[in-house]
Amino acid sequence: MVRSVYFYYLFLLNALMNLVNFVPRILIGDRFDGAVMGVMLAIPIGMLFMYLFVRMITKFPGQGFPEIFAKYLPGWLGKLILFLLAFVWFSASSVTLVGFMDVTGRYISPDVSPYTILIGFLAVVCLGARRSSESILYALEIILFIMVPLIVYMTYRAISSPYFQWDAVKQVLTYFWTAPTLTSVAAATYIFSGYANVVIFNRVFQKLRVRHYWAIALIGGMTAVMAMLAPVGFLGAEGAGFHVYPAFSTVDSLRIRYFIIERMIYIFYVVYLCLSLVNSIIHWHVAKEMVLGAIEKPVSRSQDRGPSQKKRDTKEWWILAFFSAAVMVGASLMDQFSNNLIGIWFLNMRLWAELLLLILLAFCVLRRRSRA
């Protein structure tokens, strides 16, 4: 069993990931069409979703969604919803992996086949996703303790640079009162969506207690603002919209004077490669457990290994092999523009999926009270 502090780690990982994912590209694309107001609205919306989720999930200590649905929903409906939610989590990691494959080919290894890069990513993710929930959370803690100071340093270097154009930032802020689009709000609220991984990791929390929501709101809001305005400050109010990966283009404008690695982008790439792989491991772990919960009764890894556990291990490999094959096929069919479009579709779909998740959880809480 783990402490409640790991809840904050799940949130922080998801928030930091959205400094480079599709979120900055969408917010920058709508910088003159309500993205600033979208960020402001996303903070209370994201915090409300998180607060409601935590209040309800604590009613089911030591249980994930497969166990909750098995008790309080009809069998066929619970399995259908688990499959749908597994698809959402799988999609979240897939767009990240394909996007990072493209980033690696553009900035780091243009001579290496993108499919070779993707196969390497998938091998790491598959091996990591099979670990126990506790092991994944412990690894997440180590990664964050190493990477967060580097992210803070790079952020400081960016905003303190003499080449940072504050006038460009002010120009974008003049559109503060422009009504936001649904896509802008959906993209900005994704920064707060790390809590949703508790649908599986709630199994290992000793007693989930979340406090200091103000700190979560502050970190999430600062992350959303940096994701949108940092590239604007370096690339210009107009120029930021012409870059495919504005965060990487921004960091590529920085250099380190007194270090063996002169270009900041190499450190930035390593940091976000580690975060992307850990994030994908968590998403595939959640998706895998959702699928297993739909096709069989969940088996605790603390139990003695027997024939049933070996069958479960075999099913896990088949599920992860299917996920990997789907990503490979998708990567072969998508280009830069279709990947961006799918990312926008996913963010919009995810917003409604989170709302559905809260409704289902509220229904289960009511069923639990009626049976008490």
What DSSP assignment string belongs to 21-49? Answer: SHHHHHHHHTTTTTHHHHHHHHHHHHHHH
Where do we find the tokens 């992860």?
A: 320
DSSP state of 242: G
- Residue 304: predicted pLDDT: 45
Q: What tokens appear for 204 in the block?
A: 């290992």
* 298 — pLDDT class (breaks 50, 70, 90): low
- The pLDDT > 90 percentage for the chain reads 58
Q: Which of 186, 180, 192, 182 is nearest to 47 (CA)?
A: 192
Domains, the chain, in order of start with CATH, read: 5-371 (1.10.4160)
**pTM for this one?**
0.93
- Residue 306: predicted pLDDT: 59
Q: What is the pLDDT of residues 24-53, one digit of tens each?
A: 989 999 999 999 999 999 999 999 999 999
Dihedral of CA 182/100/93/272: which sign?
negative
DSSP state of 257: T
Which alpha helices (DSSP H) does the chain contain, by range?
A: 5-17, 22-29, 35-57, 65-72, 75-103, 114-129, 133-159, 166-173, 182-189, 198-201, 213-235, 246-251, 264-295, 307-333, 336-371
Dihedral of CA 19/20/26/32: which sign?
positive
- Residue 192: predicted pLDDT: 94
Distance CA 163, CA 236 (A): 11
How far, CA to CA in Å, does 137 sit from each of 16, 190, 248? 16, 20, 27
* CB contact set of 185 (below 8 Å; sequence gap of 6+): 38, 41, 42, 45, 351
Q: What is the pLDDT of residues 220-276, one digit of tens each?
A: 999 999 999 999 999 999 988 888 888 888 888 888 876 677 888 888 999 999 999
Q: What is the pLDDT of residues 80-128, one digit of tens each?
A: 999 999 999 999 899 889 888 888 888 888 888 888 999 999 999 999 9
DSSP state of 301: T
Q: What tokens appear for 164 in the block?
A: 């940072």
Distance CA 361, CA 269 (A): 38
The arithmetic mean of pLDDT across residues 17-30, rounded, is 88
Distance CA 207, CA 115 (A): 43
- Is 297 a residue whose pLDDT tops 70? no
- Residue 301: predicted pLDDT: 47
Q: What tokens appear for 251 in the block?
A: 């960091």
Q: Residue 279 burial by CB count (10 A; 0-12/13-18/19+): exposed, middle or buried?
A: buried
Dihedral of CA 70/66/216/41: which sign?
negative
